[in-house]
Amino acid sequence: MIRLFSSLERDLGIDMGSVNTHVYVQGRGVVLSEPSVVATDTKQEFIVAVGADAERLLLRTPDMLEELRPLKDGFIVDYRVMLTMLRHFMHKASRLVSRARVIMAVPCGITDVEKRAMTDAIIQAGAREAYLIETPVASALGCKLPVFEAQGNMVVDIGGGTTDIGVLSLGGKVVASSARIGGNDLNEAILQYIKECFAVMVAEETIEAIKLELGTAKMPEEEAELTFTGRDMSNGLTKRIMVRKTEVYQVLQDPLKRMADEVKRVMEVTPPELLADIMEHGVLLTGAVADMDGLADYFSHELGVPVWVPQQPGFTVAVGLGKASQEFERMDRFIIASKNRKGRA
């Protein structure tokens, strides 16, 4: 029984995003969900902490540490820091990394150089084998869409830095696109509104709280409000501010419209027979942002097709990576890059 359990632990699925990282261990499910952040000394010479530990330290002693996020819009901007973070998460999730086959989700359309960098990092972090699949594929698998059948399946995954859109059929990708707009853009829209209207600076945590509590894609039927503190930009003093749900709704309209327009562009180049399937079966909407009040209805109205959101949409990609390892023999057309420890791609 111990040997069987150990063998099930050998496959890891890693959904490493610009904001959060989720790790799926075969036989155990999602075992790790932490911020994709690293804390270094102020000279950026030494890494002090990674993930949740880094976030806690940065909140307590922000002046003594530097915050680094090695991924931006889903792409590597600091390889050394990314490798350290990846190694930390992999070894924290499993004791059997040296025997692990790792499947990672990546944005659609990454370059060959970026693919090579990511597979190299996985191997350097200790894995036996590294495989990359695109985020919409993992989302579709996580929701058990019939991607190996002759049916058009459309997935829209909204991450922190990107919105990845894919049309899948017969075990392969038909159309895919990655737009550099995501949950971070919603936060940025709220932040700019607060700066312009109230002339205060607020913490990222406050902006995230506003989005989670008041964020909506539909006109609120009932008003709600949130009071928070910020630093007055004119005199540096603490100032209390109150923002309403209707205000946040108006602020979010522009970035949401840009997301919907990106999905429309993919639909315009989708083969008619597959588009007919999508019109009938709908579009799958995943990513943590998908839980926003009214978002599915908003996209459905904008796109003219049914849109549905699974339970716990933020973990769909990670769960799908676990499904990919179970269906590995059928994944040939979905794997976009691979490498093993002996260096063979």
| Binding region | 160-162, 208-211
Q: List the one residue out of 196, 215, 218 whose CA is nearest residue 207.
A: 215
* Strand order through the sheet with 101-106: 29-35, 20-25, 11-16, 101-106, 129-134, 335-340
Q: How far apart are CA 155 and CA 167, in angstroms?
A: 7
In what helix (H) or strand (E) does residue 158 lie, and over which residues does it extend? Answer: strand 153-158
> Exposed, middle or buried: residue 202 (CB in 10 Å: 0-12, 13-18, 19+)?
buried
The residue type found at 11 is D
Q: How far apart are CA 268 and CA 102, in angstroms?
A: 34
Tokens (6 digits) for 263: 């999905």
Dihedral sign, Cα of residue 143, residue 144, residue 148, residue 151:
negative
Residues in the annotated binding site for ATP: 160-162, 208-211
Dihedral sign, Cα of residue 114, residue 117, residue 119, residue 121:
negative
Task: Give the CB-side neighbour count of residue 5, counting CA atoms within 13 A.
Answer: 5
Q: How far is CA 292 from CA 19, 160, 216, in A?
A: 17, 14, 6
In what helix (H) or strand (E) does residue 5 lie, and over which residues does it extend? Answer: helix 2-8
**Residue 65, strand partner residues:** 41
Q: How far is CA 261 from CA 42, 139, 199, 272, in A?
A: 41, 21, 31, 19
